[in-house]
Amino acid sequence: MFDNIKNSLNYRWFVLATISIGTFMSTLDSSIVNVALPTISGKLHSDLSTLQWVVTAYLLTISSLLPVFGRTADLLGRKKVYSLGFLIFTLGSALCGLAQTIWFLVGTRVLQAVGASMLMSNSAAIVTAIFPPKERGKALGLIGTVVSLGALTGPALGGILIDLASWRSIFYINVPIGIIGYVAALSILPVDEPRKGHESFDFAGAIFFTSGMIGLLFGINNGEDWGWSSLPVLVSLVLGITLLALFVITERKVQHPMIDLSIFRIRPFLVGNLSGWLSFVAMFANTMLLPFYLQQVLNYSPSQVGLLMMAFPIMMAIVAPISGNASDKFGPIVLTTGGLAIIALGLFYYSTLPATASVYQVIPGSLLMGIGSGLFQSPNNSSVMSSVPPQKLGVAGGINSLVRNVGMVTGIAFSVSLFEALGGVTKPMPGQTAVFMSAYRTVMLVAMAIALVAVVISLNRKSYAKAENH
């Protein structure tokens, strides 16, 4: 059967379907756990500060390993790394479900994240390598839809599984999916022999990068809770920045660097990643604060908040493949820049909402954000991935995914810090609503300004045709 698939004219679409399984599973698992945290807290007798590590450990591990596994795949073959990613993720999921203590769960979440980073860092590279330029945007647009569906399905599916079975079921559900994905990856994905088998792996660079990213993101992640001037946060930030500086120095000296910094001289790659990072900072400023506005000011129930916030990923899931398809025909500049402008418009719209807004007043903001994000992401990813040489697709895909994760973390930390600096409190008392609204509006306007900076940067990219010559 699998031989028939490989000889089929639609073979590349079977590859896309296989990649979609890994993308859906790893995205689903970053959002499904949040719903289970209160239940896990009770069952494993954990306090909130310890419980946060179930989410934080997953995020830190993925962010610090994405380019490492991208480079590993360029050296050893993307099929090998991607298939192994399925196995490790599945094993990690099974062990998460067996956890009897909170710290065992945190440890197995790290193992799960190692597998997820092997999947995430190579999905775009495999798709880019097998699809011709005229279909690449469409394919990456469909991957963007799968990412949205994973984020969309996570909270709803998690709630259903916890009600029907237990919190352990949110991890056990990955086991059959992971096994199917592993068999499909081994059987369907193309064998890609590395071009330069004599290249060595840059262990020093990998250690500096991984530990530097963990230090930097740990500091950013905990700055608000512990205080930006507290010793642990300052040490984490300084150590992280120092190690990343040593990483850059190392990469410029070694013969075969983990990340060839020369790819940042390719304009579509640099512009795409920079505007992508700013877009996630801007979007996640709102993603973090909107639930508090809906719940604490407008007094909606958690289920109503969940339904309202679904408008964003649903709209993105509809627009992303259409935008990707259009980018194959018309190029990325108009779509990416237009998408960022619509994100900025959505953030401005949120800044105008009153403390007595109805559901119908809130929804247009989410729709604008979803349309803008859907328009921007697919052409931007296609522009970034099409601009690098084939032998560097793995590391380029890893950096592209890393930019997304770092943008999310930065956006959350920035929005909460600015909000609280302006006097806002996440649970306003009856007399504090005006202060909450003032702080919320200011954060939305600053996020809008960040999106507009991304618009200006995005205008400076070149077309696919020029990028293809690299």
* Tens-digit pLDDT string for the chain (470 aa): 555 566 666 889 999 999 999 998 888 887 788 778 778 888 888 876 677 788 778 888 988 898 899 889 888 889 999 999 999 999 999 999 999 999 999 999 999 999 999 998 888 889 988 998 888 888 888 887 888 778 767 777 887 888 788 889 999 999 999 999 999 999 999 888 765 556 788 889 999 999 999 999 888 878 877 888 899 999 999 999 999 999 999 998 888 888 888 899 999 999 999 999 999 999 988 887 888 888 888 888 766 777 777 788 889 889 988 998 898 888 899 999 999 999 999 999 999 999 999 888 999 999 999 999 999 988 998 888 888 888 888 888 888 888 888 888 888 888 888 988 888 876 777 778 889 999 999 999 999 999 999 999 999 876 543 334 33
3-state secondary structure of 17: helix
Q: Which letter does DSSP use for residue 469 in this model?
A: T
- Measure the CA dihedral 295/41/223/155, to 10°: -50
Q: Which letter does DSSP use for residue 392 in this model?
A: G
List of E strands, 189-229 = none
By the 8 A CB rule, do 436 and 424 touch?
A: yes
pLDDT in tens, 373-407: 999 988 998 888 888 888 888 888 888 888 888 88
Q: Count CA atoms closer than 13 A to 177's CA, side-chain side.
A: 20
**What gap in Å lies between CA 347 and CA 350, rounded to an integer?**
5
**What gap in Å lies between CA 308 and CA 153, rounded to an integer?**
14
The length of the chain is: 470
By the 8 A CB rule, do 357 and 345 touch?
A: no
**What gap in Å lies between CA 407 and CA 281, rounded to an integer?**
5
Token pair recorded at residue 197: 């088998």
**What gap in Å lies between CA 150 and CA 29, rounded to an integer?**
8
pLDDT of residue 289: 85
**What gap in Å lies between CA 273 and CA 124, rounded to an integer?**
14
Question: What are the φ/ψ torsions at residue 216 (nearest 5 degrees)?
Answer: -65, -50
Nearest alpha carbon to residue 263 among 382, 376, 130, 390: 390
Beta-carbon contacts of residue 445 (< 8 Å; ≥ 6 apart): 347, 348, 351
Nearest alpha carbon to residue 275 among 143, 418, 377, 173: 377
Q: Which letter does DSSP use for residue 191 in this model?
A: P
Q: What is the pTM of this model?
A: 0.82
Q: Count CA atoms closer than 13 A to 253's CA, side-chain side.
A: 8
Left (φ > 0), alpha (ψ -120 to 50) or beta: where does 423 sit? left
Q: How far does Cα 305 stand from its chain's mean position? A: 22
Q: ∠318-79-139 over CA atoms, to 5°? A: 20
215 burial class (0-12, 13-18, 19+ CB within 10 angstroms)? buried
Left (φ > 0), alpha (ψ -120 to 50) or beta: where does 354 sit? beta
Token pair recorded at residue 301: 């129930």
**What gap in Å lies between CA 133 and CA 379, rounded to an integer?**
12
Spell out a b/e string for 295-332, using b for 16 or more CB atoms within 10 Å of the CB, else e.
bbbbebeeeebbebbbbbbebbbebbbbbbbbbbeebb
Q: Count CA atoms closer than 13 A to 248's CA, side-chain side.
A: 7
Token pair recorded at residue 278: 């700013």
Spell out a b/e string for 2-20, using b for 16 or more CB atoms within 10 Å of the CB, else e.
eeebeeeeeebbbbbebbb
How far apart, in Å, are the Cα atoms of 170 and each of 123, 154, 399?
23, 9, 29
